[in-house]
Structure 1
Amino acid sequence: MKALILLILSIYTIPVNRDLPATAELRSLYYQAASSKTAADELQKLLLMVDGNSRHLLICYKGASEMIQAKYVLSPFTKFRKFKKGKYFIESAIASEPENLEMRFLRYTIQTNLPSFLGYNNWITADKKMLLERIDNIHDKHLKQLVINYLMTSKYTTDKERNNIRK
């Protein structure tokens, strides 16, 4: 009987994954969300369970999702609130894991698409430099292709940098 009680207690005290989304699904929705409110809403819904104890990458995606949601709301106050919340999530995730290339890529894509008056563009150069230096070390083929495609079309990438990417 004691063993049964211990088993039941251990089942209920083991932390569960809480149905956290797969990274591939997040990536797909993230890129669709820039032009689709439906995808933005789906991305936000997938990230509802993400909190401060979640993986840093998920926290970073949650921040990016908040910023994308700002695009689809009308109130300037709500837009700014979502921007600040998103920035907090992104920066706290990257502060915890500054060498994570995917998180730096997320921040780069956000910062290169925000209006300059928001003042959230101070990491563009450093993030781009890191992406360019480490692009060959990206093992995930899908992520690597996303980074390459984005850098090749970014107005922040020089012709010389584009030529180096092609090599």
Structure 2
Amino acid sequence: MVIRTVQTLCFVFFIVCLPTLAKIGAISPMHSTHTDIEQIRKAYFSATDSERKTESLLKEVQKKSATDPVYRAYEGACEAILAKYMWSPYSKFAQVNKAKDLFKKAIEAAPDNAEIRFLRFSVQHNLPDFLRNESDFQADKKFLLQTFEQNQIELLSPYLIQQIATFLTQSGRYKPEERKIFEAYQTK
């Protein structure tokens, strides 16, 4: 009788409570744990100037990128960063195209995810004009501005919000009045 009650309670939790918790953002069915993605985020921001750190992070995110669009976007960002360490222009071009494909798949899976849009924007911001997809770049720029204007960033961690706001403020891609929106989030 006790086993049957426990089974029923587990069933109710997984059928009723779990989807509700995921919907309000209390848990994320796409991330194994909150600390996993937080560690990836922190590693990403410290890896952008180191080939070794970027390669290490790439190996880590590839473990989950097939099932999680956020991890796939981090994989794309790492692939793009690695292009700057290549000598051959052909290799650099191929590497950037690989990153673009990963971003495309990530955004198709989660088009309204600000983190994914930010990663693609930040990569394209650093690409030479002839490699940048201007329509995607402008769409991400507009999306990020609207997301911050409408305060639709509640699912992002405070650390990530601050990192994104700082990058967007310093990117030089926004007008002074638009930068003020991001500046408000740099100290929160």
- State whether TM-score is above 0.5: yes
Match of 1:56 in 2: 69
Match of 2:79 among 42, 60, 66: 66
Match of 2:116 among 84, 89, 103: 103
Q: Per-residue CA shift, 1:45-104, capped at 9, x if unaligned? A: 21232453x111111111111111111122222212211111101111101210011000
- Alpha-carbon shift at residue 153 of structure 1 (Å): 0.2
CA contact (8 A) 1:114 1:120 kept: no
- Structure 1: 4+ residue segments shifted above 6 A: none
TM normalised by structure 2 equals: 0.71
TM normalised by structure 1 equals: 0.79
- Alpha-carbon shift at residue 131 of structure 1 (Å): 1.4
Q: Per-residue CA shift, 1:113-145, capped at 9, x if unaligned? A: 101111323222221222122222222211111
State how 1:24-103 maps to structure 2 within 5 Å. Answer: 24-52=38-66, 54-103=67-116
Give the fraction of aligned pairs with identical amino acids, expressed as a percent.
32
Letter in 2 for 1:89: L
Letter in 2 for 1:82: Q
Q: Which runs of 5+ in 2 are unaligned?
A: 1-30
State how 1:135-154 maps to structure 2 within 5 Å. Answer: 135=148, 136-139=151-154, 140-154=157-171
CA contact (8 A) 1:18 1:49 kept: no
Letter in 2 for 1:142: Y
CA RMSD of aligned residues (A): 2.2
C-alpha separation in 1, matches of 2:59 and 2:183? 37
Letter in 1 for 2:39: E
User: Relative to structure 1, is the Cα distance of residues 33 and 122 closer, same or farther in structure 2, using a 3 angstrom cutoff?
Assistant: farther
Letter in 2 for 1:97: A
**Count of equivalent residues:** 149
User: Relative to structure 1, is the Cα distance of residues 121 and 29 closer, same or farther in structure 2, using a 3 angstrom cutoff?
Assistant: farther
C-alpha separation in 2, matches of 1:147 and 1:18? 23
- Alpha-carbon shift at residue 18 of structure 1 (Å): 9.6
Match of 1:127 in 2: 140
C-alpha separation in 1, matches of 2:152 and 2:82? 32
C-alpha separation in 1, matches of 2:121 and 2:83? 17
